[in-house]
Amino acid sequence: MKLRIIAWILVLILALTPMLSVAEGDDTEPPASADPSTPPETDPPVTPDADPTTPQGTDPPATPGSDPTTPPETNPPASPTEQPSASPTAEASPSASADPTASPAAPTSTPGPVTETADPLKIDTYWKYPGMEKSYAQGYMPVQSGKTVRFLMPLLGKTLGSTIRVVPEFPSDGPFAASNLQFDVSEKTYDVTQGQNSNQKEAYLVQFSAPLKDTYYNGTYTVMLHVSYKNPQGEPAEQTFPMQIQITGGKTVSAGGGGGGMTVVRKPVILIDNYAIDPLEVSGGEKVSVKISLTNVGNYDARNIRVSLVPESDTLKLEGDLNARFFDALLVRGKLEAAFDLSVQKGASEGPALFTVQLAYEDRFGGSYTDEGKYQVYITQPKIEILSCEYSEVVNGGDGFTVMLTVQNTGTRDAKNVSVQYTGSDDSIRNKDAKDHQEIGTLKVGESRELVFNLRAMPNAMEGKHSFRFSCFYQEADSGGSYESSGNYPLSVVQEASLGYDQIKLPESVTSGESFTLPVCVYNTGFSEIFNIRCTLDCDGLICSSAFLGNLAPQESADKTMTVFVTTLSGTQKYGDTYGSVQIFYEDVNGERHTEFQSVKMTVAEPVKVTDEEKAKKEKEQKEQQTLSQWWISLLVAIAVIIILIAVIVIARFVRMMRLK
């Protein structure tokens, strides 16, 4: 039998082995698309916007520095953007004036992936720093002086160590002399201005000079600033900021394949060469006018032009039904202007509000191009701040104190309907005045006002840390937008420690050699915590250990029982009245020790001596009592037995009568 079972198992294993092999082979079967007999596609990609008049396969033109004595051809117009890609989807780089916040489309090539951080660096577009003729928001560009270009870029943000490493990347075919420039920039405080306003800002001011070649060509060039640092969490991060510069004073580029100049890729290139935001500083509820000036600096006419304005937050709202302006064409060297109207939300917070201008257009071959620039409107508002709050930060429970406030309009707009409201974090701190708020009315820019509030720490205030708040409510004088600012202020309340306890009473008389229990109950009657509560009994002839009751929070209680053993008095008289005291020790929150006393009295009784006759008599009485108890038990047992027998007889007769019937 066993041999048959083993034989069947071997047969099953042999039958299943091919099936398992087939199942495993399914995973490794090559896909049909990997047929080696199918030749790969070798057709080169089509380049729609390459010049159809230029024959394929011609020799590449000479570089700008190959023949500085050969004059370039002057037939085509000079193009500030000589290096855009011939791909129909290539993006034309905007000028620096079109990108005051340095957030253009990503460059076509970067040295490596950029690590995204939760709080990256950004260009300060609003303020004008030392060495700048105007801010980035007003169209700052690097300055060319002879054969030297001066670059300057203020960056804001937090880094580990407050230091960044900057590596400029110059275009390989550009006008700049070869250099391997890299340097560190530390965060410093600078005096900045914007119109009539001045301030101090902490920033990384990136500034350096780059020399030009002996022979260079005019145009618009892009320098990439690669910035590396560690974020506040210690993680490495890298960002790239493009800076554009219009180079003049050199040679004009060639339009074809000869003449010693660079070859120009023929395509339309639309740049935002100017813009106007009126007003640049605006308040909540007001209107803003935006005008964008466009210029085709390329070599072909542009068609189907679409200019869009996209607000980046709800702070700005585009007026009208359409967010875009459409134009049929823009000729080479032609100019267009697109106008938009924006409204600012009422009550908008002070600070920059960003919007993006996006360009989309085509060439005559259907190639499409996009570009964008970021801009900002600076929103101003009144800002009521509490400059100072003077008061005593430690008060006793039940005491009053005075708070002197100084409020000032530190914003850029006048404020009206200004009021200051008091609010306590709990009922422990209350305002003694009739009203919890005081009206100020109108506060102009820079104006301040002093207020006085009379507060009181309640008698039942818990000891410890408390706080109260002052809130400033106000409106903008022009648009009526409502705002609020507030500040919290700490206060320490001090309360006296207070301990209560139940009256402790000793028994009137206890025989020497006996013991008794003594209950102790204490409770915290104050509003501050008490610590290390301990109770002791000090009385001649009594032996008792201390009772430790621990700590008590306000309104809490604790109890303990002490065991007292009675001995004899220490004097010549061993028995009689003894006097002493109960002492309760505790500490307050400041570590100061306190003691409660209570006097006690008790009589120590002499033990009664028992003679032999009294002992024998007592033993006899105990035996008689025991015998009597046993007799009663026997009698009860006998009665129970008799009752049981009677019950059995009655039941038997009843059963017999039922059977006879």
pLDDT at 438: 93
pLDDT at 358: 92
pLDDT at 187: 94
For residue range 498-542, what is the model confidence (pLDDT) as tens digits? 999 999 989 999 999 899 999 999 999 988 899 999 999 999 999
pLDDT at 14: 52
Q: What percent of the chain has pLDDT over 90?
A: 41
Where along the chain do its domains lie?
A: 61-265, 266-380, 384-494, 499-605
pLDDT-based confidence at residue 631 (cuts at 50, 70, 90)? confident
pLDDT at 577: 92
pLDDT at 107: 36
The predicted model gives 372-381 an average pLDDT of: 85
**Cα 539 from Cα 603, distance rounded (Å):** 11
pLDDT-based confidence at residue 636 (cuts at 50, 70, 90)? confident
HSE toward the beta carbon, residue 377, CA cutoff 13 A? 32
pTM: 0.44
**Cα 336 from Cα 551, distance rounded (Å):** 83
pLDDT-based confidence at residue 136 (cuts at 50, 70, 90)? confident
pLDDT-based confidence at residue 84 (cuts at 50, 70, 90)? very low
Looking at domain 266-380, its CATH class is: mainly beta
pLDDT-based confidence at residue 608 (cuts at 50, 70, 90)? confident
Residues with Cβ within 8 Å of residue 142, at least 6 apart in sequence: 96, 149, 150, 151, 152, 223, 243, 244, 245
pLDDT-based confidence at residue 86 (cuts at 50, 70, 90)? very low
pLDDT at 94: 38
**Cα 214 from Cα 240, distance rounded (Å):** 28
The predicted model gives 181-189 an average pLDDT of: 92
Could you tell me the sign of the dihedral formed by the alpha carbons of 40, 41, 43, 49, in that order? negative
pLDDT at 313: 87
Residues with Cβ within 8 Å of residue 564, at least 6 apart in sequence: 506, 515, 516, 517, 518, 537, 542, 543, 544
The predicted model gives 101-127 an average pLDDT of: 53
- Find the length of the chain: 661
pLDDT at 560: 93
pLDDT at 137: 78
The predicted model gives 437-446 an average pLDDT of: 91
The predicted model gives 413-437 an average pLDDT of: 89
**Residue 34 pLDDT > 60, yes or no?**
no
pLDDT at 449: 94
For residue range 289-323, what is the model confidence (pLDDT) as tens digits? 999 999 998 888 999 999 999 998 888 999 887 88
Strand partners of residue 224: 169, 242
pLDDT at 7: 56
Q: What is the mean pLDDT of the chain?
A: 79
Poorest-pLDDT segment among 37-51, 177-191, 486-500: 37-51
**Residue 468 pLDDT > 90, yes or no?**
yes
pLDDT at 403: 95
pLDDT at 104: 37
pLDDT at 254: 52
Instruction: Select the CATH number that applies to the domain covering 384-494 from these four: 3.30.420.10, 2.60.40.10, 2.40.50.100, 3.30.565.10.
Output: 2.60.40.10
**Cα 437 from Cα 473, distance rounded (Å):** 10
Residue whose entry in the numeric block shows the structure tokens 């209680």: 557
Q: Which two tokens stand for residue 418?
A: 């200004």
For residue range 248-293, what is the model confidence (pLDDT) as tens digits? 888 876 544 444 445 556 789 898 878 888 888 888 788 899 999 9
pLDDT at 351: 81
pLDDT-based confidence at residue 174 (cuts at 50, 70, 90)? confident
**Residue 481 pLDDT > 80, yes or no?**
no
Amino acid at residue number 116: E
**Cα 92 from Cα 46, distance rounded (Å):** 20
pLDDT at 69: 37
pLDDT at 211: 92
**Cα 599 from Cα 584, distance rounded (Å):** 12
The predicted model gives 453-472 an average pLDDT of: 92
pLDDT at 179: 76
Check if 266-380 and 384-494 are the same fold.
yes
**Residue 343 pLDDT > 70, yes or no?**
yes
Q: Which residues of 83-109 are buried (b: 16+ CB within 10 A; e: fewer)?
A: bbeebbebbbbbbbbbbbbbbbbeeee
**Residue 330 pLDDT > 90, yes or no?**
yes
Looking at domain 499-605, its CATH class is: mainly beta
The predicted model gives 429-453 an average pLDDT of: 91
